[in-house]
Structures are given as C-alpha cells and as structure tokens.
Copies of this chain bind each other. A is one copy, B any other.
Amino acid sequence: MTVDVQAVLAGNRLALSRLLSQVENDTLAGQHALVQLFPHGGKAALIGVTGAPGTGKSSLVNQIAYHFRHPEDGRPARRVAVVAVDPSSPFSGGAVLGDRIRMSALTGDEGVFIRSMASRGSLGGLARTTAGVVQAFDAAGFEVILIETVGAGQAEVDIARLAHTTLVVEAPGLGDDIQAIKAGILEIADILVVNKADRPGVEQTERALRNMLQLAHPGRRDFEGVTISGGGESEPIWLTPIQRTVATEGDGVPELLKLIDAHRAHLEETGDLARRERARLTVEVNLLVESSLVADWRAGISNGQYEEVLGMVFERRLSPRQAAEVLIHGEEAS
C-alpha cells in the first residue's frame, strides 16, 4: 500500500490515518513517506504529558485539546493532535486504550486528531514509532501535538524527551508514600499539574511538590512560570510552576494553557528551543541507528547458527557475553 504524501500535506484525514498505520507497523511505505514529509515539519509545539496512573491524565489531555480549540484569550484556535502511548500494555497488540474516554465535545472536530498507541515490542521500538507519528502530525500541519504517556517509569521519561514542553501530572491521595512522586520525574517537568484539585489532600500534595522543587533549586523564590533574569549576565531561567486543575470541570485549564505558551516563549527567547529540538532529533537518529544495526546483523545470521550458539549458552559452555561475541564476530572472546 502506498501513502499519498500530497494528500497528507493537504490535510486529508483518511490519508493521514493510513500513513499513521504504516508508520506504526514500520513499513517501507511509511518510512519513505516520513522521509518526504520531514522537510515540511518542525513547526508544531510538542507537549509531553506524563504522570502516574490515577492522576486523570487522559481527561486533562482532552481538556487541554478542547481549550486549544476554544481559546478564552482571543488567540486563534489551533489544530491539535493527541498521541496517547501506553508502554505497559505490551501484549494487547491493539492500539485502543481502554481507559481513554472520548470527549464528546471533540468528536466531529476536524481540527483534532487522536491516536492511541500500544507497545508492540521493545521500548526503543515504541519511542521510535512515536517519533514517526509525531513527525507525521507535524508535517500534516497540526500546531500542537500532545504526547500522553500512561505511567511514570523510564519509558515515559524517554518519550518525554520527544517533547519541547513536559507536563508532569500529580493528584492528591495517590498512595501514602513518596514513591508516587519521583525525583527523576520532577527533573523532566517544565510544568507541574496537580489535577483533581477539588479533592482532600491537595494542599499536602502541592506542598510536597514545592519542597521537592525547593530542593532542586535552593535559590528559588515565590514567583513561578515566568522568565526571570538569573542575575548578572546569565540567561533567564524557568522556574517550574505548579498549576492546580480539575480536569473533569475544566478548572485551571485556561491558566495551564497560558503557562504552556509562556514556556514556549521562554524556550524561543533563550535559544533553548533549538537546543531541545537538536537533543530530540539526536535521540530519534540514535534510535534508528540502533534498530538498523540490529536488523542488519539479524539478516546476516542464520536461525541455525543463532540457535546453536544459544544452545551452548543454555548448557553453560558459553557465557552470554561470549555468545554475543561469537554471534557478531564469528569467534569467541578471549
């Protein structure tokens, strides 16, 4: 099946949908189409949304999409794509997330495109495929691309690296230990969201987050989400703001959009956008190099050889590292 690149560029949804399937399945047609589309991209704002299960991320993403479509501040509506990635369902094989409730206010809106993706193999594979899907949306003219990941592990951190602006979502009362709020996750957050802010314990959650931010930036003061001068000749720095939301009601979402735009402006002003874009594309290239190297190697070795060497490992006549040496170089390591 070929992909109609011109139709994708012209905004044809069916052509885009077909392209996405080709990209997800990593077909040659999908790969060729992405090569042709790549020069047309680079304009979209890429926004990662991550956080633990139970924080209401999906509802929040729906609301963010809705408010980009129906802005309250007089800005023009923006075209929004949502890529919902679930790395913890490696066995589902399907692409529909059970917990994603479609928002009726978004259905039928031609300016919104939602795509759910499940992991079909390795994590590297999922990050690679997500990058391809983002490229496709970008070239197709979506101005905002929301990359939502379910969970809060390393996989989500890796996928967050595909974004320019990363939102980390928390909620009150999610378990009783500090595990729910990971220092590592905080370090990737450009904006912290305390969702379900109408629940008891919201002050406590916000205080815990604020303390962790204080630890990370000991000199921080009370104004946040604004670009301030770091003193002297240093560049303006971004102080991670905390925004309360109640996604089910839409409360706090217009304010969240203002913070997202402020972060974008900060990235552009400081040159950080170029640095992040470069880091992002470096990750993409590295993922593709890795998968190509493995594919080339696998094509050069017979199943018989492979199984024979594995058999020797199983009998403990070769260690895994010796086996890897034999499989790559045809001889044992010394």
Please list the residues of chain A having a beta carbon within 8 angstroms of any beta carbon in chain B: 31, 34-35, 38-39, 41-42, 52-54, 87-92, 98-99, 119, 123-124, 126, 131, 135, 150-158, 174-180, 182-185, 187, 274, 277-278, 281-282, 284-285, 288-290, 292-294, 296-297, 309-310, 313-314, 316-317, 319-325, 327-328, 333
Tell me how far the C-beta of A42 lies from the nearest C-beta in chain B, rounded to whole angstroms: 6
Please pick, from B91, B151, B153, B175, the residue contacting A54 in the complex, using a CB distance under 8 A: B175
Given A119-B154, A325-B292, A320-B281 contact (CB < 8 Å): yes
Q: Are B314 and A278 touching (Cβ within 8 A)? A: yes
Please pick, from B92, B175, B313, the residue contacting A53 in the complex, using a CB distance under 8 A: B175
Q: How many copies does the complex hold?
A: 2
Q: Are A157 and B88 touching (Cβ within 8 A)? A: yes
Docked Cα-Cα span, A88 to B116, in Å, equals 23
Q: Are A313 and B328 touching (Cβ within 8 A)? A: no
Closest to A181 in B: B53
In the complex, which of the residues A180, A185, A289, A293 has the most CB atoms of chain B within 10 Å of its own CB atom? A289
Q: Are A153 and B328 touching (Cβ within 8 A)? A: no
Tell me how far the C-beta of A168 lies from the nearest C-beta in chain B, rounded to whole angstroms: 12
Given A156-B153, A281-B310, A179-B54 contact (CB < 8 Å): yes
Given A123-B158, A328-B292, A184-B320 contact (CB < 8 Å): no
Q: Are B154 and A38 touching (Cβ within 8 A)? A: no
Q: Are B325 and A185 touching (Cβ within 8 A)? A: no
Tell me how far the C-beta of A213 lies from the nearest C-beta in chain B, rounded to whole angstroms: 15
Q: Are A124 and B126 touching (Cβ within 8 A)? A: no
Other A-B contacts than A88-B185, A90-B184, A293-B293, 9 sampled, CB-CB below 8 A, are A35-B319, A38-B316, A53-B180, A89-B182, A89-B184, A91-B184, A123-B155, A274-B314, A293-B297
Docked Cα-Cα span, A325 to B156, in Å, equals 27
